[in-house]
Structure 1
Amino acid sequence: MLPVGKQSAAAPTSPPDAASPRTDLPPEPVGDRFDDRPLPLVSRQPRTERDADVIHATALLAHARMLMQRGDLGNALRRYQRAWRYHPTAVPIMERIVPLAFQTSVNRQAEGYRYAVIAADQGLSDPQLLTQLAVHLTRNNQPRRALQLYERLRKMQGTKSPSLRWVVQHVEMGRLCLILKQPKRSIEYFDLVRKAIKSPKEYSISAPQLKRLLGAKNATCLLLANGYLQSGQFDAALEMFAKADEGQPNPALLAFRRARVEAVRENIPEALAQLQQYLESGQTVAGTSPYELLRRVLLVQTGDEQQAVARLQTHLAELHKAQVDNRPLRSYLAELWRSQGRLQEAETLLQMLRKQKPEANLNRGLVRIYLQQEAVPSLYHILVETVAQDPQLASLNTQLAQIVKQDEGRILDRLLRHATENTPPDAKLAMRAAHVMAILTALAQRFPEADKWFETARRVAPAPNPQLCRNWGRRMYQAKRFPQAANAFRAALQAQTIPDNQPLLYLLLADALVSDQQVEPALQAVRKSIELKPDQFVAESQIPWVLYRGKRYADAKRQYLIFLDKFDSRFDNDQIRRICRQARFILSTLALREGDFHSAERWLEEVLDEFPEDIGAFNDLGYLWADQNKHLARSLVMVQQAVAAEPENAAYRDSLGWVYYRLGQFQQAVVELEKAVAQTADGVILDHLGDAYLKLQQRAKAQATWKRALAVFKTENNLQQIQSVQTKLRQFRTTDS
């Protein structure tokens, strides 16, 4: 651009003829002031970090408006989001972000909700949007924030005439209080609901509306009753339990609920009387809870555990004689007898229940019994039977660990001998038995034996079994036996005859291969998955991921950029958004490896554009800025939020300590860095702590801490860090001498 004062409003397209002087121009003034070079503006006071942020936000806003005018709404949204982050007190920015994100042509509802929640925290006053946000937060398991929004709505209601919606919101507020384990606070809301149920006309609630408020089987009353019971308001609890019973009358169940109330207020005779009414009815709708309640009541009555259990056994045994088909009673009695050493009787009950309907809890009970009895053949049979329904034996995790450890592994040795000597003639049973032994020996980390048992299971199987191989591959992967995992996944692929199941198996194989540093075979497996099922974004994201894990960083960067170019415009799928988020984190890491701090920051900024409360991005960007000694005020706020969210995260704590260090708050830096070192002896954290000690003139601590850092870096063969710390120690010794 030409200097100001030299540019014509309508410049000629060709230079004028030198021989024909222009007569239409005014005479050139002598000593034209515009010939002088303008002096730079000098601020009266230095620009603060806050000033710089506001200026940057203003520029972003201008860019956003320009993009809006061009119809580029998606990128305009990104500019508005970043402008808000640099100038969050500018509420009008947020008022642009939320409607724009929800706009049909943009369709970024997830982002809209994230920013709307923040807007609500800042004072959003639209009742309809606040209600929508509260529901969204509840569905996304954020009860505390949802309750805060409902509280805002309640204050906004003020003295307005109550309505059905108003009462329903109080039901939800009380329910959220119970989720947050604040029963006494729930009563503040439930009292209004209770009044509305008793006097609906006062709340302008019609008969059909009252029916909707009460819910199916008067479930709302049951919710209120439990809230009143937990808060110790027993009469109100009884009233609401009675009202709940009106929805589906059941005198026996109502008696059990009354017994609960009387037991809590320690009215033992009445609790026993009400409980007996339920027990004699033979009903099973309350499961095993009535029998557990009876145990607690008897304990209060007798004051002696042994006496209470004796009376409980007698009472339940009598009930069982009269109610032989009562499944919850039989199950509870079996566990009670097992805990009291009556193992044979407990086993009989559990086996009878299993014949009627096999369930995981029954299998667990039998395994416990056989372990107590050291009944190896019976234990072997129940495990083989269980693996048919639960191929990984996940329902028996605790019991399997006990088998492996009990009697220093002798129970396991006996099981293995029994399995070796008693191979079932049926091929399916033989496969299951060998699989069980493979699982147990793998848990015991007796891997050579585990490999043999797995191969036996494959060999004796009546047909190729892809599920067996896939499950074994996953188990080997978890055990970090990557070559064995890869072999198992290959076997699964050979056995798999359903084409739709093969793409996932190829991805599992790729994961095992790259973990074993076999990068090219891993890439081939991913490409095969894509070939079988084109345009699957999960598989396409694995190409750069494999390259990154294989330390082919330039290729990984290129492939991540290709992935983002293809999928980053997809906002209709949450999984795609999570993968794009991960891609940006990795691209930031790759940029740092190249020394490209600007790009590293940009990728993290883009994460925060879409996920404005992402604590990982808060930490990483805050640390990155602090390491460059810039944006320190913002860095501090961001890293503090990360630490508040995950106080046990040593990396976040280190970032906080390093920000304090950069701010010159060395004592506070030491406090945070010492906490981080207490959580993990990481070399970088130790190096930072040594630096902070030196600033406080704690020279002996600094030297000792740097030596610890050096030892860690030598273990990691981190040459750059080794050289850095050795330089500090040499300078330290020079200074001392």
Structure 2
Amino acid sequence: MPHNGTGSYVDFCTGFYLMLDHRWEDAIVFLEKILQENPDAERIHNHLASCYFQVDKKEEAIRHIEKIAQLKPDDFSIHYTLGNIYASEGNEMGAISEYERANSSEMDGIDKGFVSDMLHRLASSYMKHGEIENAANIYHKILDLKLTDEPVKIHYNLGQIYVDAKRVKEAIEEFVKAKKYRPHAEPVCFYLALCYEELKKYDKAIAELKSFIEYDPDAWLMRINLSNIYERVKQYENAEFERNKSLVILESRVSGESKDIREYITLSQLLQRKGKEKKAIETLEAAIANVIDGDDKALGEVRFMLANIYYEMNDHNNVIDELEKVLEMDPDNHQANNFLGYFFIEQGVQLDRAVGLIKKALSLNPENAAYLDSLGWAYYKLAKKDDEMMEQALQKLIEASNYAQDPEIMGHLGDVYFSLGFWEKAKSQWENAIDLWKESEVEAPPHLKYKTVRELKAKRSIQNKLQKIRNLKMVESSKEKVETGERVVRNHVH
């Protein structure tokens, strides 16, 4: 700006000294006047942005920074700054756009800390928006430019990206690289074993988990995962050994008033599996007392688990009580809506409310086979002699069966077919359900197979219904023989 006594120069000097005196509003008046004659004055836009930020007029401040970005399209610093502003304002797409411009700018002479921060932010934004390939490219750039002091984190992030993209072999490569920097990082070893398991390289998965357990014998999560793989390869004694070890470790942690909610939940599941429902309940109640403090999501999860255990114990009042508490905290909890609705249908109480609860669960998760099954079963229970509602029940149950091959859904379908008089279809559905249960039982010996009360009840009910059909067929067959015999005798008499 020329020092020739022009109005613009006077306005600049006045505005600048008002800024130094922190008289931001007055400074804005003089600086805005300059832009009327010099709309592309970068320095004035910069000062105005500072003033507007000081008086908490963010939109105006951002408008001036955006103008600078237009004037300097290849300037790393301005695009990096604008990207950070957009990110802080929740404008994710704007942030990505500016970080991309910063990434394509000339970065010679720029502090490596700023470049690294920008690239990490860009990669993170790509991840949030599911742009896996772009995120991977940015992480590779961070590694190539040696912009990180912790390459293990980059390789770990890359591994997770490839896992999400189901590119398991590439994920393994990244986790192996991460392991070289930190051989005993639990998340790295965990995912590496998970990838080997996905590729059905069970020996490698087992070796990975065992290696970590040798380093840290109290790593209960690794032991749980090891037990699951042992079950998959039918090494049932080893699976039970690892579960028992986990149980002992977790009991010790919880008795020491652990602050990790996962430890209470997992211990409760292990106790329930062993048929120790009362101890499982005590463990979850301890979690509520010792760990959960204002975390409604965690509290809802624990209460939902309690409802399941009470269901297994046929403690109906507590099932309702726990589920009502979950819905009081979170009316949109679709699992609790469906569970409570199905439970009411089973008990034959509050049927109208039950249908409403199940419909709400479906509105939140419309392709859930279990919820469709619940609604179909509710219609069946309400149908009685209403053929139209029976047809609706059949429609929902067929829809459910399209989403999942589940023995309970097949059992319900069989009931509807039987009520409609299609005995052969009913028999076919019930037999298919029994066959599915038998297939699952082959996978583990009976003494290790954990069966829920609901599963046992459903299976027993279907077996009884199949026997009923067999009996009815025997009666029909006997009638036919009697009628045939009568006709023969009469013919002889005549």
Q: Report how far residue 544 of structure 1 moved.
A: 0.4
Which residue number corresponds to residue 342 of structure 2? 658
Partner residue of 1:587 out of 270, 293, 314: 270
Which residue number corresponds to residue 220 of structure 1? none
CA separation of 1:492 and 1:395: change in aligned 2, threshold 3 A? farther
Q: Report how far residue 661 of structure 1 moved.
A: 2.1
Are the counterparts in 2 of residues 660 and 669 from structure 1 also a CA contact under 8 Å? Answer: yes
Are the counterparts in 1 of residues 358 and 375 from structure 2 also a CA contact under 8 Å? Answer: yes
Within 5 Å, give how 1:317-332 maps onto structure 2.
Answer: 321-322=17-18, 324=20, 326=22
Partners in 2 of 1:469 and 1:607 — Cα distance?
Answer: 38
Residue deviations 1:438-466 (CA, integer Å, cap 9, x gap): 55655554444443443233223278742
What SS class does the counterpart of residue 420 from structure 2 fall into?
helix
Which residue number corresponds to residue 154 of structure 2? 469
Aligned residue type for 1:513: C
Are the counterparts in 2 of residues 632 and 662 from structure 1 also a CA contact under 8 Å? Answer: no
Q: Report how far residue 673 of structure 1 moved.
A: 2.0
Aligned residue type for 1:700: E
What SS class does the counterpart of residue 575 from structure 1 fall into?
coil
Are the counterparts in 2 of residues 367 and 382 from structure 1 also a CA contact under 8 Å? Answer: no
Are the counterparts in 1 of residues 268 and 284 from structure 2 also a CA contact under 8 Å? Answer: no
Aligned residue type for 1:540: W
Q: Report how far residue 565 of structure 1 moved.
A: 1.1
Q: Does 1:676 align with 2:361?
A: yes
Partners in 2 of 1:617 and 1:488 — Cα distance?
Answer: 36
Residue deviations 1:200-238 (CA, integer Å, cap 9, x gap): xxxxxxxxxxxxxxxxxxxxxxxxxxxxxxxxxxxxxxx
Within 5 Å, give how 1:118-133 maps onto structure 2.
Answer: none
Which residue number corresponds to residue 119 of structure 1? none
CA separation of 1:645 and 1:567: change in aligned 2, threshold 3 A? same
Which residue number corresponds to residue 263 of structure 1? none
CA separation of 1:663 and 1:377: change in aligned 2, threshold 3 A? same
Q: Does 1:347 align with 2:46?
A: yes
What SS class does the counterpart of residue 20 from structure 2 fall into?
coil
Partners in 1 of 2:421 and 2:62 — Cα distance?
Answer: 71
Which residue number corresponds to residue 136 of structure 2? 451
Q: Report how far residue 413 of structure 1 moved.
A: 7.4
Q: Does 1:543 align with 2:223?
A: yes
Aligned residue type for 1:381: S
Are the counterparts in 1 of residues 136 and 161 from structure 2 also a CA contact under 8 Å? Answer: no
Partner residue of 1:714 out of 402, 419, 425: 402
Which residue number corresponds to residue 634 of structure 1? 318
Which residue number corresponds to residue 723 of structure 1? 410
Which residue number corresponds to residue 62 of structure 1? none
Aligned residue type for 2:188: Y
Aligned residue type for 2:413: Q
Partners in 2 of 1:375 and 1:663 — Cα distance?
Answer: 71
Q: Report how far residue 671 of structure 1 moved.
A: 2.6
Q: Report how far residue 522 of structure 1 moved.
A: 5.0
Residue deviations 1:294-341 (CA, integer Å, cap 9, x gap): xxxxxxxxxxxxxxxxxxxxxxx99984452659x69x989x99xx99
What SS class does the counterpart of residue 582 from structure 1 fall into?
helix
Q: TM-score, normalised by structure 2?
A: 0.58
Q: Report how far residue 651 of structure 1 moved.
A: 1.1
Q: Report how far residue 640 of structure 1 moved.
A: 1.8
CA separation of 1:447 and 1:503: change in aligned 2, threshold 3 A? closer
CA separation of 1:663 and 1:447: change in aligned 2, threshold 3 A? closer
Aligned residue type for 1:562: K
Q: Does 1:645 align with 2:329?
A: yes
What SS class does the counterpart of residue 580 from structure 1 fall into?
helix
Which residue number corresponds to residue 277 of structure 2? 601
Are the counterparts in 1 of residues 80 and 102 from structure 2 also a CA contact under 8 Å? Answer: no
Are the counterparts in 1 of residues 127 and 135 from structure 2 also a CA contact under 8 Å? Answer: yes
Residue deviations 1:608-650 (CA, integer Å, cap 9, x gap): 452467554543443455578x332332223222222222111
Aligned residue type for 1:568: E
Partners in 1 of 2:140 and 2:178 — Cα distance?
Answer: 13
Partners in 2 of 1:352 and 1:491 — Cα distance?
Answer: 49
CA separation of 1:574 and 1:620: change in aligned 2, threshold 3 A? closer
Which residue number corresponds to residue 695 of structure 1? 381
Percent of pairs with identical residues: 13
CA separation of 1:702 and 1:376: change in aligned 2, threshold 3 A? farther
Partners in 2 of 1:375 and 1:588 — Cα distance?
Answer: 66
Residue deviations 1:165-218 (CA, integer Å, cap 9, x gap): xxxxxxxxxxxxxxxxxxxxxxxxxxxxxxxxxxxxxxxxxxxxxxxxxxxxxx
CA separation of 1:426 and 1:673: change in aligned 2, threshold 3 A? closer
Aligned residue type for 1:685: Y
Q: Does 1:610 align with 2:286?
A: yes
Q: Report how far residue 491 of structure 1 moved.
A: 3.0
Aligned residue type for 1:605: I
Within 5 Å, give how 1:486-501 maps onto structure 2.
Answer: 486-495=172-181
CA separation of 1:648 and 1:726: change in aligned 2, threshold 3 A? same
Which residue number corresponds to residue 93 of structure 2? 401
Q: Report how far residue 563 of structure 1 moved.
A: 1.8
Which residue number corresponds to residue 565 of structure 1? 248
What SS class does the counterpart of residue 734 from structure 1 fall into?
coil
Residue deviations 1:412-458 (CA, integer Å, cap 9, x gap): 87666x35xx4647894876776566556555544444434432332
What SS class does the counterpart of residue 677 from structure 1 fall into?
helix
Q: Report how far residue 582 of structure 1 moved.
A: 1.9
CA separation of 1:658 and 1:453: change in aligned 2, threshold 3 A? closer
What SS class does the counterpart of residue 493 from structure 1 fall into?
helix
Aligned residue type for 2:363: A
Are the counterparts in 2 of residues 438 and 450 from structure 1 also a CA contact under 8 Å? Answer: yes
What SS class does the counterpart of residue 562 from structure 1 fall into?
helix
Unaligned 5+ segments in structure 1 are 1-316, 355-360
Alignment: residue pair count? 379
Aligned residue type for 1:401: M
CA separation of 1:618 and 1:441: change in aligned 2, threshold 3 A? closer
Q: Does 1:686 align with 2:372?
A: yes
Residue deviations 1:385-437 (CA, integer Å, cap 9, x gap): 899xx9xx996583443345x7xxxx787666x35xx4647894876776566
Partners in 2 of 1:733 and 1:449 — Cα distance?
Answer: 56
Are the counterparts in 2 of residues 458 and 464 from structure 1 also a CA contact under 8 Å? Answer: no
What SS class does the counterpart of residue 568 from structure 1 fall into?
helix
Residue deviations 1:259-296 (CA, integer Å, cap 9, x gap): xxxxxxxxxxxxxxxxxxxxxxxxxxxxxxxxxxxxxx
Partners in 1 of 2:396 and 2:191 — Cα distance?
Answer: 39
CA separation of 1:446 and 1:639: change in aligned 2, threshold 3 A? closer
CA separation of 1:402 and 1:729: change in aligned 2, threshold 3 A? farther
Unaligned 5+ segments in structure 2 are 1-12, 290-298, 426-494
CA separation of 1:676 and 1:565: change in aligned 2, threshold 3 A? same
